[in-house]
Structures are given as structure tokens and as C-alpha cells.
Amino acid sequence: MTTLMLMLWPLLSGLFLFCLIKVPTRTVQWVNIALHLVWGVFMWQSWAGFAPDQLGTVSWSWEWFPSLGSSLALGVDGLNLPLIVLNFILSLLLAFYSLGKEKLGASYLALFSILNAGSVGSLLALDALAFYVFWEFMLIPMYFLIGKWGSKNRVYAALKFFAFTMAGSLLMLLAIIALGTEYNTLSWNALRDAQIPYNGLGGFQGLVFLGFLVAFAVKIPVWPLHTWLPDAHTEAPTGASVILAGVLLKLGVYGIARWCLALFPMASQDVAIPMMVLGAIGVVVGSFAAWKQTDIKRMIAYSSVAHLAFMVLGLFAFQEEALQGAMFQNLAHGLSTGALFLIFGIIYDRTHTREISQYGGLASRNGLLASAFVFSAMASIGLPGLPGFVGEFLILSGTFFSNKTIALVSLSGVLLGSIYMLSMLRKVVFGPVGPTLEAHEIRLQWNEWVAIVPLLVLMLVLGLQPQFIFEKSKFAVEWILALMTSGWGV
């Protein structure tokens, strides 16, 4: 029942918040925090009762499409639990951030809770059709969050986000229908045990695999399917940017590990080199694009393209270090990039400009906030002692054993990342005070510090003690790699 409540509680919370439209905004915001704390109880129960050696264990199930052998099957294991907890942490901190902001009332908070239900449901789903329903369900609240509460070009960005992700997901739906028709089951465990025969990418397993892969490649997004992401991040409100970077993009990486590598290992091996090449291109292109941006949010968005491309390398290198690094980097990037979007969002609330040239001297106007911004940027570029270093080091180490050329090309992304991030920090944080900060006071409220500080602490903890996460995901990673080496199962 606890597993069900991980998904159901944010859904019920969202519906309840919709009923508070006429209630004063400040009251609704406190109610939202209280609802998150109750959700945290279920989260803690799942974390405390988790067994590291479980994979694909169904905790709750309800049959809904017997003709396709489909049920609403939910379960917690080493692949999804860390991301579910990250989703909760980011959402709780954003609930504190929203305090006192009149524009972030009942409708906004309700849509945000419903978005959480979709993302957590996608992570928990151990049935292909259930996964698809939650996967598509996420699009609706995010579309409205961007389209209503975003910046000047919010409608265009929302439509582009919706169109790209919906188009990719249609291929996954066709693949799911084909699986249900052929095997009369859509259970992740049953499909895994079915050992779908492989006759090349043009055969049944190959075509179904490609249907899943395209959907996940759009969500990550893999180059050249990345063009929707900078627009969505740039125009989205702060909370939507944080949860998009911290959780929604990570579902693409998670989806490849859960559905592509685990169910279609031989097809995955056949596309390994092309996917690693696309990953290397994404690292370089994303880094160069970030370097050339004059808009801070757009720069952070392109940096996400590069960092997520590293994760693609880790997924398809088929080395334990690389795959473990990709899953860990999923968390590390969610924390560091989420913190960058949150900190700059707080600054933007005062200044209403994203242009780097308009800033300067943040350190002299608010030293603590500048320190938090620099700390988050260092985590993003992989400073040793912070989680970004752990993830990227493992990914590059594993990729080097798999393909030295691709690893060396991708290594340039580490250098480029340092260049564009340090260049941005020099212009925004240091030097003389720019016109924007000269005209606006940057003084934070207590609740904004409550939203920022836990992210900094978590980055430091995971950077120094990464085994805290590795212990949770080790069994799942080893199981998937066994499929890669044996063709089928252990």
C-alpha cells in the first residue's frame, strides 16, 4: 500500500489543491507544504523498507486490460527508488520556494502535484501500458505550467515541448500494442522472462526496441532531438525548470535502463556504437552551444544537453563503472542543475532579466547567494569532491574500456564545461556591479534559503559518500550487465 501512496498521494493532493482556488494564496502554499510532509512519510517508509537485492518486485497491482495482459503494477527497486526520492526532495524544496509568491497559487501548485504523480507513476510502473499512461500523463500539467506561468514565448515553448515528446511517444505506444498482441502480457517481469527472439533490428525485437528508444531519446534529449529543451527551460517558470531538469529528463535515462537494456539486450548491443557516437556529438555540441549563449537559463539548458549526453555514453558502454556512473549522474545532475535553475530563478524574481551582460558583482551584493551559485556551478562542471565528478569519472572510465576514441572526444566536454561555466561566473558573480544588480536589491527570504541549502548539503554528501547510492543500485546494474554479456538473463 505504501508503494501505491507514493503515486496516489500527490495525485490526491493536486485534486485537493484545485478545490482551494478561492482560499488565500499564502494559506494554500502552507497546505501544499503540509501535503508534501505527509508524502514524505510514505517516502521514508519505502526507503527504510527497501531491500537492495530486489528488482522488478511488484508491491501493488490491479488488473485493468486483461485482453493485453496488462495491469497497473507498481514496484520499488534499485533503479527507480533514488529518482523517486529526488523527485520528492525537489518538489518539497520548491514548495518552500513558492511561499509568498502571489502568482504561484492553488492552480499552479495543484498542477505541480499532479505532475509529481505522473513522474513517480512512470518510475514505479512495472507494466508497459501503465508506464505509457503515466509517461503521457506528465505532458499535460507541464504543458500548462509552461504555457500559463512561463515567460514571453511560453506558448510556443509549451507547444514545442508537447509536440516533440508526444510524437516520440506514439512509436512507443505502437511497440507496446505489438508486445501485448504477440505475448498477451505487458508485465515487465513476464516480458523479461519471455526472452523475445532477436532477428536483427528489422525483426520483432528490433522494431519494438526502436519504438521505445526513440521515445526515450526525445525525452533525454539525444542530439539532434534536443531543440525543444532550451526553449522549454528558458520560458518555463523556475519550479518547472527545476523539476524538468531534475526529474523529467532523467526519465529518459531511466527508461533506457529499465525497458531497453533489460528487455531488449541484443538490440541494445546492435545500436551501442551509434548511440555512443550521438552521445559524444551531444557532449561537444551542447557544450559549444552553452558557451555561446547570452541568456543564463538558455546556457544552463544547453549544459544539460551535454551532461545528459554523458549519461547516454554510460548506458551504452556496457561496463559496470559506466552504467553505475550514468545512474549516479542522473541524481548528481538533478541536484546541481536544479540548484542552478533555482538560484538564478530567485535572482530573476528580483531583476526580470536573463541577459548575462546585464549582471556583474553578485558577490558584492549578496555573498552567500553568490557562494551558493558558485558551489552549484562547480558541482555541475565536476569539481572533485562533488557528485558531478563521481558520475562523469565513472562514465568516462567505463567508456574508455568500451571505445577509446569516443571517450577521448567526449573528454573535451569536461574542458568546455569548465570554460562556459567559469566564463558565466566571472561575468555574473565577480567584477564591478552591473546595471541590473545596481538597480535591484538581492535579499533572500528565509523560505528561499530553506529551498537552497538542502541541495548544497546533498551535493556535498553524495560527492564525498557516493556509495550511499551505489549500494541501492548495485544489484540492478549488475543484473542488466549480465544480460549484456550472456544475451539473456541470469
pTM confidence score: 0.93
Per-residue pLDDT, 199: 85
Cα–Cα dist 231/289, whole Å = 13
CA torsion 289-295-298-304 (nearest 10°) is 70
* Residues in the chain, pLDDT under 50: 488-490
The C-alpha angle with vertex 373 and arms to 368 and 374, in degrees rounded to 5, equals 95
Per-residue pLDDT, 48: 85
Per-residue pLDDT, 459: 95
Per-residue pLDDT, 461: 94
User: What are the backbone angles phi and psi of residue 292, rounded to the nearest 5°?
Assistant: -90, 0
Cα–Cα dist 361/370, whole Å = 9
Question: Domain segments of the chain: what residues?
Answer: 271-490
Taking alpha carbons only, the member of 241, 430, 416, 252 closest to residue 337 is 241
Taking alpha carbons only, the member of 374, 365, 316 closest to residue 343 is 374
Complete DSSP assignment for 249-282: THHHHHHIIIIIIHH-HHHHHHTHHHHHHHHHHH
The C-alpha angle with vertex 6 and arms to 4 and 12, in degrees rounded to 5, equals 85
Per-residue pLDDT, 32: 96
Taking alpha carbons only, the member of 313, 465, 325, 306 closest to residue 386 is 465
Give the three cell numbers for residue 380.
555541475
Taking alpha carbons only, the member of 253, 279, 240 closest to residue 402 is 279
CB 282 within 8 A of CB 226: yes
User: What are the backbone angles phi and psi of residue 158, rounded to the nearest 5°?
Assistant: -65, -45
Within a 13 Å sphere around the CA of 23, how many CA atoms are in the beta-carbon half?
Answer: 17
The SS3 call for residue 423 is helix
CB 217 within 8 A of CB 168: yes
Cα–Cα dist 245/234, whole Å = 12
Per-residue pLDDT, 57: 83
Per-residue pLDDT, 490: 37
CB 119 within 8 A of CB 138: yes
pLDDT digits (tens, 9 = 90+) for 99-126: 988 889 999 999 999 999 999 999 999 9
Per-residue pLDDT, 489: 38
The SS3 call for residue 144 is helix
Taking alpha carbons only, the member of 138, 126, 219 closest to residue 172 is 219
Per-residue pLDDT, 58: 84
Residue 142 is which amino acid? M
Cα–Cα dist 165/464, whole Å = 36
Cα–Cα dist 245/253, whole Å = 12
